[in-house]
């Protein structure tokens, strides 16, 4: 069995073009649930927003960096974990926050702000942490990744669809109301289908290395949820807000990570396996956490929100 750092997963260019289109469609669907008012809402809950954004873009990558050193994982696995940590959240986090009886308005606002910020911060954040990693830096430098090129790619598959979705939501509310749910479901199902396709096309590699990666992914995801919750708790936020921040930090857009891995890293084995496993595991873990929280009324919830729960 080849070392995982030497594996390159197979994914043909035509499929990658379609995957980029699917991810853009997914971001368009996320934006249909976003309004300009969501950005204004930041002004009404500045502490919660600041904590959530800091937990995602500052604390989680640093914690992930430490976890890769503690576990002693291979360079490509470390790069995969760092890339996933730098990815923005998806709108699955909004659904899970509602299920967990958390602050959905905060979750939606954080998703909107995080996706907007990730266009610039994601490639810079990843390049910073990967470049200083003691075992993965050499592999990262050998790939000669250009953060500006990566940022341009993110603009195309995240930024443009996200802006178009917001414009559609603001200017065409009736159309948005009709297509919002079908677009969200269809885009999510297409993304899952492509992740499954990537796994099926490289089944032997996933079978060989999944046990090596699964423990790291499970610990990483648990740590991501804990990072969000503990940051919120340390900042004095109510339990109602902590749940939203925890889920927002714990749910990462691994589909975006997979696209970038095939686009810029040649399907590097450890990175692709991490992103593929994470894409399913964090939803399973998120559903379990949200289900557990959903049976417990949150402290600090507004009366109206508690009545809807």
Residues belonging to the chain: 309
What is the spatial distance between Cα 67 and Cα 56, in angstroms, rounded to a whole number?
16
247-270 pLDDT, tens digit each? 999 999 887 888 788 778 877 778
Burial of 112 (0-12, 13-18, 19+ CB in 10 A): buried
Q: What is the DSSP letter of 202?
A: T
User: Are 254 and 87 spatial neighbours (Cβ–Cβ below 8 Å)?
Assistant: yes
**pTM for the model:** 0.81
Q: For residues 199 and 10, give the distance between their C-alpha atoms in angstroms, rounded to a whole number.
A: 10
Residue 103: pLDDT over 80: yes
Q: Per residue in 113-145, pLDDT tens?
A: 888 888 888 888 999 999 999 999 988 888 766
Beta bridge pairs of residue 268: 8
Q: Are 161 and 31 in contact (CB under 8 A)?
A: yes
Lowest mean pLDDT: which of 76-80, 133-137, 157-161, 214-218?
157-161
Residue 18: alpha-carbon gap to chain centroid: 20
Confidence of residue 15 (pLDDT cuts 50, 70, 90): low
Domain boundaries, the chain: 4-308
CATH 1.20.1530.20 fits 4-308, yes or no: yes
Q: What is the pLDDT of residue 254?
A: 83
Q: At CA 266, angle to CA 93 and CA 143, rounded to 5?
A: 100
């Amino acid at each position: 069995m080849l070392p995982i750092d030497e594996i390159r997963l197979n994914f043909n260019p035509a499929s990658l073009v379609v995957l980029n289109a699917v991810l853009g469609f997914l971001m368009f669907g996320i934006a249909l649930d976003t309004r300009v008012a969501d950005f204004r809402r930041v002004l009404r809950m500045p502490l919660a927003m600041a904590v959530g954004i800091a937990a995602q873009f500052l604390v989680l990558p640093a914690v992930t960096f430490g976890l890769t050193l503690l576990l002693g994982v291979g360079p490509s696995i470390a790069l995969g974990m760092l890339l996933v940590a730098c990815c923005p959240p998806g709108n699955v986090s909004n659904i899970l926050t509602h299920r967990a009886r958390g602050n959905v308005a905060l979750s939606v606002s954080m998703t909107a702000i995080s996706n907007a910020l990730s266009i610039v911060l994601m490639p810079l954040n990843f390049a910073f942490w990967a470049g200083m990693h003691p075992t993965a830096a050499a592999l990262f430098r050998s790939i000669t990744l250009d953060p500006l090129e990566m940022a341009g790619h993110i603009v195309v598959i995240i930024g443009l669809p996200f802006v178009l979705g917001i414009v559609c939501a603001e200017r065409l509310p009736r159309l948005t109301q009709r297509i919002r749910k079908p677009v969200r479901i269809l885009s999510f199902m297409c993304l899952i289908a492509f992740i499954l396709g990537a796994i099926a096309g490289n089944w032997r590699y996933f079978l060989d290395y999944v046990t090596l990666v699964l423990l790291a992914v499970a610990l990483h995801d648990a740590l991501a949820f804990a990072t969000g919750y503990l940051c919120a708790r340390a900042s004095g936020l109510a339990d109602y807000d902590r749940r939203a921040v925890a889920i927002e930090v714990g749910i990462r857009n691994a589909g975006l990570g997979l696209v970038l891995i095939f686009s810029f890293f040649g399907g590097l084995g450890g990175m692709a396996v991490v992103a593929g496993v994470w894409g399913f595991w964090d939803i399973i873990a998120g559903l379990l956490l949200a289900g557990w929280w959903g049976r417990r009324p949150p402290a600090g919830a507004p009366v109206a929100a508690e009545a809807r729960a």
